[in-house]
Amino acid sequence: MKLELENKVILVTGGAKGIGEAITRGFAAEGAIPCILGRNPAEAAALAAELTAQGQRADAFSCEMTNETAVRTAVAAVFSKYGRIDCVVNNAGVNDGVGLRSSVVDFRTSLEKNIVQCFVLVQACLDALIATKGTIINIGSKCSVTGQGGTSGYVAAKGAMNGLTREWAVDLAPHGIRVNCVLPAEVMTPLYERWLSTRPDPAAALTDIKRSIPFEQRMTTAEEIANMVVFVASPRSSHTTGQILFVDGGYVHLDRACTKAMQLK
């Protein structure tokens, strides 16, 4: 199935590693031009150079996402170079462990890192997206609907992201702009590996996590998240908007009794 994404300009925040890297690669493979926005220019430039060497297209724009001026400058640079913006993927964020015992300053900082920067980016891209009847895809988290414990800032931000997905879908429908949110659950990324390494027995912890995932009892891959993002961004998903899409092997919604029964087989 051709997804009709050739030459579309896609902004991917945090697009140089983890789920963001998979998203960047997914769009590049479809002939789009993913533009990585992030604060590590060396990583982003290296990925863009690799994809270019493979005959694909990608670009990198250095940007600290919590700096409004830097975000608006990066968006202007993308538009100046390519003359259009077709899709924004709000992927950057961090589960920073800001909980109820954290300071109010830390809570506000967590919101800046995980949701305020998304608002700033979409606002900066809005006129360009209206011109192309583009799309917005937010990368959320299962904890926005399940809770997690010990991470009030991140959960509040991801809950707000679900709400903004539907709010923006309503606001922007008259302009032909679709807005959706893709929610991962258990995906092996560098950040996830770092968290896993803090467990007393990382291998045993990983085994337990896999056994709690109903479908095939395995982690979701970053590529599986990316595949959903790329499809939803494409004209092949032309009547899908305001949706919260779970790509998680049934982790969030399937009955835990079913999961336990599978473990006993």
The string of DSSP codes covering 20-39 is HHHHHHHHHHTT-EEEEEES
Out of 82, 154, 192, 251, the active site residue is 154
**Which residues are within 8 A (CB) of 155 and not within 5 positions of it... i.e. 6 or more apart?**
141, 143, 144, 147, 148
Q: How far is the C-alpha of 106 from the C-alpha of 54, rounded, in Å? A: 42
Q: How far is the C-alpha of 149 from the C-alpha of 159, rounded, in Å? A: 14
- What angle, 0 to 180 degrees and rounded to 10, lies between the N-to-C axes of helices 152-172 and 104-111? 40
| DSSP-based three-state secondary structure for 222 | helix
How many CB atoms lie under 10 A from the CB of residue 108? 13
Q: Does 154 qualify as catalytic in the annotation?
A: yes
**Beta bridge mates, 36:** 12, 60
Catalytic residues, by residue number, are 154
